Copies of this chain bind each other. A is one copy, B any other.
C-alpha cells in the first residue's frame, strides 16, 4: 500500500505545519470531491476509477487484443497529456527497452510529439515491412504536431492496406461529439474512443487516451484501474491518513518557506518517463500567476554522478521527492571474485536490490545533511496495481496543491502563447497582422 513519509522535516520547516494546513486542505478536498472549485468542470478524473464507461473499457480491451493480433507495431500519435502517461506506464511496467525485447505484443512507437523530421523518418523506417496500426489521440484533431504526423502515417497505412484495410487499423481517441478528428473518424468509419470533456490532458492517462496504448503493450489495465480505485477511496476521506494530504502539505510548506525546485527522483531507471508525466502534471497545474514549484527529475543512481554535486552543495533551492519501489522483478546477486581486484567482495552474496536500497538510504542521509529536505513515496512493488495507486495519488495531490496555492489546477492558459506565434509565423490565414508584428520583433 502506497505511503508517504517525510524525513527529519522538523529540521527544515516549522512544525506542526500539518495541523496548520488542515483547514485549508479540507476546503481543497471538498472542492475536488464536489467539483465546485476553480476549474471544477475538469474534475471528472476524481471519480473516474469508479465511474468510467464500462462499455468503452471493454472496447479498449478488444481493440488492444485486435492490435496485438494483427500488428507488429502500434504507432501512437499524440503530444503532452496524449503521450506522456502512456509512454510512462509502458516503460515503467514493461521496461524502457520494451521495443528491443522479444515479446508477444507489438512495438509501440510514439510520434507526433514534436516536429523533428528525422524522428518521424526513423519510425517510418521501423514500420517498413511490419504490419502496423495507428492510435491517433487528439481532442480537437487540429493540434499541429499530431495532425502533421497523422497525415504521414494515415497515408502510409492507406497506401499499404487500402482505405478499407486502413479502417481496421486506425483508432481515433478524440472528442465524443465535436472537432476535426471526430468528424473525420465518423466519415471514415474509424473506431473511436473518447477524450472526456471533464478531464484535461494531463489527468487523462486512465481514460482511453492512456489505456489503449497501455493495453496494446500488454499491461494489465485491470490492475492499473483497481489500484487507482483503491487510492480514490483512500483519498475520499479527509485527513492525514490520506497520503495525498501529507505530500501536498509538506511540499506546500517547503514552497512557502522558500524552496523553488522540486526534484522527483527514483532509483529505478524504468521510472524516467513517469517522471516526465509528473512534470507535466504538476508544472502545468501549478505553474501560473508567477507561482509554483519548478518540477525537475533525476534518475538515480546515474544522476548522483551528474546532478549529485549540485544537489549536495549548489544553491539551496530544492527539495526532493523520492519514489521508492519494492523488490525488482528479477534478482541478481554479486558473485564472489577470487582476486577481489575491485574490492567488492564485501558485497558477495548481496542482491542488487539490497545495494540499491542502501544507496537510497545513503543518499537520503547525504542530501538531508546537505540541506535538501526529502519526501519519500513508498510505492510498493513495481506492478500495475501499485502504479495505478501512484498515478491517482499524484493526481489527487496535484489537485489539492493547486487549491492550496490558490490557482486553478485544471487550466493551462500559457500553452497557447507559442502556438499563436507559430501559427502567425507559419502564415496561417487570419493571423496576418500578428505575423508582421512578430517578424518585426524577430528582426530587431
Binding site for B on A (CB under 8 A): 8, 79-81, 83-84, 95-97, 99-102, 107, 113-123, 125-126, 141-142, 144-145, 147-148, 150-152, 155, 180-181, 183-184, 187, 201-202, 260-261, 267-270, 276, 279-280, 283-284, 286-296, 299-302, 304-318, 328-332, 334-335, 337, 339, 341-344, 346-347, 350-356, 358-359, 361-367, 369-370, 382, 412-415, 417-429, 438, 441-442, 444
* Chain B positions within 8 Å of A148 at CB level: 334, 344, 347, 352, 355
Closest chain B residue to A437 by CB distance?
A: B365
Question: Contact at A291–B315, with CB atoms within 8 Å?
Answer: yes
Shortest CB distance A325–B (Å): 10
* Chain B positions within 8 Å of A346 at CB level: 426-429
CA distance A42 to B33 in the complex (A): 58
CA distance A99 to B307 in the complex (A): 26
* Chain B positions within 8 Å of A382 at CB level: 118
CB-CB nearest 3 A-B residue pairs:
A287-B310, A80-B305, A287-B314
Main SS of the interface on chain A? helix
Question: Contact at A359–B306, with CB atoms within 8 Å?
Answer: no
Closest chain B residue to A149 by CB distance?
A: B352
* Chain B positions within 8 Å of A293 at CB level: 315
Q: In the complex where A280-B305, A292-B315 touch, is A330 in contact with B441 (Cβ < 8 A)?
A: no
Question: Contact at A100–B126, with CB atoms within 8 Å?
Answer: yes
Shortest CB distance A310–B (Å): 3
Question: Contact at A101–B122, with CB atoms within 8 Å?
Answer: yes
Q: In the complex where A150-B342, A314-B290 touch, is A121 in contact with B330 (Cβ < 8 A)?
A: yes
Q: In the complex where A276-B306, A359-B422 touch, is A366 in contact with B417 (Cβ < 8 A)?
A: yes
Q: In the complex where A99-B100, A329-B118 touch, is A151 in contact with B337 (Cβ < 8 A)?
A: yes
* Chain B positions within 8 Å of A334 at CB level: 148, 151
Shortest CB distance A107–B (Å): 8
* Chain B positions within 8 Å of A145 at CB level: 301, 305
Excluding A346-B428, A359-B418, A363-B422, 14 further A-B contacts by CB distance (< 8 Å) are A99-B100, A114-B267, A115-B356, A116-B270, A144-B359, A147-B343, A184-B341, A184-B342, A261-B294, A288-B309, A361-B442, A362-B421, A362-B425, A367-B417
